[in-house]
Amino acid sequence: MNKLTPEQHKKIVLEAFDTLFNKRDYAAAERFWSSEYIQHSAHIASGREGLFNLIRTLPESLKYEAQLLVAEGELVIAHGRFSGNGRPKAWIAADIIRMDDGKLVEHWDVLQDEATKLESASGLPMFGTSFPT
């Protein structure tokens, strides 16, 4: 049963993402991700180990930055940037996380390569207030 507030859920998601993606502390990350974690991403194998194993294969330069978190009930949406991922461009992500009892239990995502100013039809950056250099 979910007894935490949406604000508490956002705080947990931020700490979880920092622990796994930035600090690469897999043992500590286990306390955030449920052992029954359900993964809906087309880029990540199923379960908590699928996610952890993917992160193990990525460069040490991987960095996650959050820009916006929205939470309602058991759901958190995190808009962020994954840079240093070994790809030509950073990924801008909308991660949708279902929480239960303080743990991340289910995940969906929408990913896009970050556009440069020349590639942006709107003329606006996808993340933050400036374009990548």
Domains recognised in the chain with CATH numbers: 6-113 (3.10.450.50)
Single-letter residue type at 38: I
**Alpha carbon distance 104, 13 (integer Å):** 7
What distance, in Å, lies between the first and last C-alpha atoms of the chain? 45
The 10s digit of each residue's pLDDT in 48-67 is 999 999 999 999 999 999 99
pLDDT tens figures, 64-73: 999 999 999 9
* Element at 82 (helix H, strand E): strand 75-83
Q: How far apart are CA 91 and CA 85, in angstroms?
A: 8
Pairing of strands 103-113, 33-39: parallel
Region 93-102: mean pLDDT is 97
Q: Give the whole-angstrom CA distance, residue 93 versus residue 79.
A: 6
